[in-house]
Chains A and B, each alone.
Chain A
Amino acid sequence: MAPITIASGWPIEARRSLLAGIALIGAVSLIALLAPWLGDPYYQDFATGLSPAGLPLGPNHTHPLGTDSLGRDVLARVALAGRVSLSIGILAALLSLALGATVGMMAGFYGGFLEALLMRLTDIGLALPTTLAGLAMTALLPAGLLRPVVIITLLFWAYPARLVYNETLRMRRRGFVEAAVAMGEARYRILLRHILPHLKTLLLTYAPMNAAAAVMMEATLSYLGAGVPLPTPSWGNMIGEGQGALAFAPHLFLAPAAFLLLTTLGFLLIAEGFKQAHSRGIRFSWLAL
């Protein structure tokens, strides 16, 4: 087998973080992809899926992660929830990043009235109390799987917009942009050919962090009953359902929580890898310890 060539020129620590993150996301995605073969997530087995006292079963041979209070297989539900939570999280992360980057670039590059308008909107977006605003938006939008995507996009776009705006402002004053302007190149071409490539590192580092935050936000909304509508499982609403059984069936909380943790940790490790690859390492200290 050929040696792994991902990020081979990077510092060892950065590469280790990146590969660990990719491995985690890969493992979770694999289980999510295998969902149809892991059992029926909706089948309520009251005959053999519950203990004689009618309580959820713990992990056993037929149900590797146990069953929930309706006798449904937790592994099958967690896997299907992985499909739901991962696709919502990644989609919302990409949409908010694309929207934010576009707003930030336009505001930073074109300036004037557009800049004032877009950046005031960004300020409002940054000032929103995330959870409460998410709940309020839930009341405004029709229920469905796309609702959390729209809500998370609306809650998240302002953060990358502010970052990209600052970076674009710095780029604007650089010589190569001024030269391109002097040579009479079209505005949109300067934006796409000269400025966008310089934002690559920023966007690549921000994208996985954004994905982690989006997956967490989806879980929070679903936990509060404002995200993925039941009976479709998502990690958040599974935790919400399992909360009442914390005393006697903690696996109903631990199983989805573990998958959630592995996913966000994976994304953050990837981001950490990018960060370490571009940082200057530990700073110098005069204090000898």
Chain B
Amino acid sequence: MARFIGARAFQGLVTLLGLVVLAFLVQFVIPGDPVRMLAPRTPTEEVAQRIRAQLGLDRPWWEQLGRYLTRIAQGDLGESYVRRQPVARLILGRLPATAALALAGVLAEILLGFPVGVAMALSPHLRRWLSGLNLVLLSLPTFVIGLSLLLAMGFWLRLLPTTGGTGLRELILPALTLGLAGTPWYAGVIRDRLEESLGSSYIRMAVAKGLPNRWILVRHCFPHVLPAVVTMAGMDFSAYLSGVVVVETIFGWPGIGSLAVQAMQTLDRPVVMGTVLVGGAAVILLNGVVDMLRMFLDPRAREGIG
């Protein structure tokens, strides 16, 4: 087990390094001069040179990359060009909001997707209606779902606030948006796994023993479904942690996604790199955790590692 964790951690570090190097190099290809975004007016060539020297932008790219890697190895993500604040503090300040939204979004996906998936597997009658509903949800891009909810719940029914904020009431609509966008995927996977289970011999055995249906479902069918749900939820959670760009933009949710978009527009390289790094690290770390969790839940996956 320890060897497995070690190997995964090493693999994760290599992937993260590759991601950072790639993201760093892409920024040199993007047209636009960060100095021009920084200076209040069009700077004279002399001033521009001085700013460049100050930020280390006059060095060749490999030297800049080397310096950057050395600094992040020491835990220093640099300072924002635009906001003149340490990047680490900027991102940490946004992290609670993004984490709350990510968690609420994943919860909403499971709470909506699970009953829909179970109902589709168990009732041929409901199945037709629910697959129609799923198809409509699949046809709507996330931002259209978000704006429709905003229109219906905020402006027509006046149930929930329409302006940005970080409170619990402001969290409901963005979380519900993520939940509705994820519902068809969760329902589909849950339905497939449940159907697989319902036709299997261990369910025949349980029926033959005369166990009540509810007991069979909860004790024998759901454990077969659970690992798939955990995998999906973990992948979504880690993806959302790196910023839910569109949803955060619509609802004015002050998370990492909107920070990344602003930084990209103002060519704030240290912040862009910081969000890439933190997002990548979150994805890699959580995917590792999900694999562990799945092994814990699914005896078959445990056999794979010696």
Interfacial residues, chain A to chain B (CB-CB below 8 A): 129, 131-132, 135-136, 139-140, 212, 216-217, 219-220, 223-224, 239, 243, 246-247, 250, 253-254, 257, 260-261, 264-265, 268-269, 272, 282-289
Question: 22 A-B contacts, Cβ less than 8 Å apart?
Answer: A132-B260, A139-B30, A140-B26, A219-B143, A224-B246, A239-B144, A239-B147, A246-B150, A246-B151, A250-B151, A257-B147, A260-B144, A264-B139, A268-B135, A282-B124, A282-B127, A284-B198, A286-B200, A287-B122, A287-B213, A288-B213, A289-B123
**Contacting pair B122 A289 (CB below 8 A):** yes
Q: Which of A212, A243, A246 contacts B139 (CB 8 A)?
A: A212
**Contacting pair A286 B239 (CB below 8 A):** no
The binding surface of chain A is classed by DSSP as: helix
Judge if B138 is at the interface, Cβ distance under 8 Å: yes
Q: Which of B32, B155, B196 contacts A246 (CB 8 A)?
A: B155
**Residue with the highest number of chain B CB atoms closer than 10 Å, among A129, A212, A216, A282:** A129
**Contacting pair B264 A136 (CB below 8 A):** yes
Judge if B148 is at the interface, Cβ distance under 8 Å: yes
Judge if B242 is at the interface, Cβ distance under 8 Å: yes
- Rounded to whole angstroms, the CA-CA distance of A239 and B142 in the bound complex is 13
- Rounded to whole angstroms, the CA-CA distance of A179 and B196 in the bound complex is 36
Q: Which of A129, A224, A285, A289 contacts B199 (CB 8 A)?
A: A285
**Contacting pair B144 A224 (CB below 8 A):** no
C-beta contact mask, B188-231 vs A, less than 8 Å → 1, else 0? 00000001101110011001000001001100000000000000
- Rounded to whole angstroms, the CA-CA distance of A288 and B216 in the bound complex is 11
Interfacial residues, chain B to chain A (CB-CB below 8 A): 26, 29-32, 122-124, 127, 135-136, 138-144, 147-148, 150-151, 155, 162, 195-196, 198-200, 203-204, 207, 213, 216-217, 239, 242-243, 245-246, 249-250, 257, 260-261, 264, 279
**Contacting pair A250 B245 (CB below 8 A):** no
The 3 A-B residue pairs with the shortest CB-CB distance, nearest first, are: A285-B198, A264-B139, A265-B139
With a cutoff of 8 Å between Cβ atoms, the chain B residues found around residue A253 in the complex are 147, 151
- Rounded to whole angstroms, the CA-CA distance of A33 and B278 in the bound complex is 47
Other contacts beyond A220-B141, A250-B155: 4, CB < 8 A: A139-B31, A223-B141, A264-B139, A285-B203
With a cutoff of 8 Å between Cβ atoms, the chain A residues found around residue B200 in the complex are 286
**Contacting pair A257 B139 (CB below 8 A):** no
Q: Which of A139, A254, A261, A272 contacts B264 (CB 8 A)?
A: A139
**Contacting pair A132 B30 (CB below 8 A):** no
**Contacting pair B195 A283 (CB below 8 A):** yes
With a cutoff of 8 Å between Cβ atoms, the chain A residues found around residue B122 in the complex are 287, 289
**Contacting pair A129 B242 (CB below 8 A):** yes
**Contacting pair B199 A283 (CB below 8 A):** yes
Q: Which of A129, A136, A265 contacts B239 (CB 8 A)?
A: A129
The binding surface of chain B is classed by DSSP as: helix
**Contacting pair B279 A129 (CB below 8 A):** yes
Contact flag A261-B138 (CB < 8 Å), given A136-B26, A283-B199: no
Report B278 CB to chain A, min CB distance, Å. 13
- Rounded to whole angstroms, the CA-CA distance of A135 and B257 in the bound complex is 12
**Residue with the highest number of chain B CB atoms closer than 10 Å, among A212, A220, A286:** A286
With a cutoff of 8 Å between Cβ atoms, the chain A residues found around residue B246 in the complex are 131, 220, 223-224
Q: Which of A217, A261, A285, A288 contacts B195 (CB 8 A)?
A: A285
Report B115 CB to chain A, min CB distance, Å. 16
- Rounded to whole angstroms, the CA-CA distance of A250 and B150 in the bound complex is 11
Report B25 CB to chain A, min CB distance, Å. 12
With a cutoff of 8 Å between Cβ atoms, the chain B residues found around residue A257 in the complex are 144, 147-148
**Contacting pair A287 B207 (CB below 8 A):** yes
**Contacting pair B198 A283 (CB below 8 A):** yes
With a cutoff of 8 Å between Cβ atoms, the chain B residues found around residue A284 in the complex are 198-199
Report B24 CB to chain A, min CB distance, Å. 13
The residue of chain B having its C-beta at the shortest distance from the C-beta of A139 within the complex is: B30
The residue of chain B having its C-beta at the shortest distance from the C-beta of A258 within the complex is: B144
- Rounded to whole angstroms, the CA-CA distance of A139 and B250 in the bound complex is 21
With a cutoff of 8 Å between Cβ atoms, the chain A residues found around residue B213 in the complex are 287-289
**Contacting pair A286 B151 (CB below 8 A):** no
- Rounded to whole angstroms, the CA-CA distance of A265 and B132 in the bound complex is 10
**Residue with the highest number of chain B CB atoms closer than 10 Å, among A140, A224, A253, A257:** A257
**Contacting pair B216 A287 (CB below 8 A):** yes
With a cutoff of 8 Å between Cβ atoms, the chain B residues found around residue A286 in the complex are 198-200, 203-204, 207
**Contacting pair B31 A220 (CB below 8 A):** no
- Rounded to whole angstroms, the CA-CA distance of A260 and B148 in the bound complex is 13
**Contacting pair A261 B147 (CB below 8 A):** no
Q: Which of A140, A224, A272, A283 contacts B249 (CB 8 A)?
A: A224
With a cutoff of 8 Å between Cβ atoms, the chain B residues found around residue A219 in the complex are 141, 143-144
- Rounded to whole angstroms, the CA-CA distance of A260 and B155 in the bound complex is 22
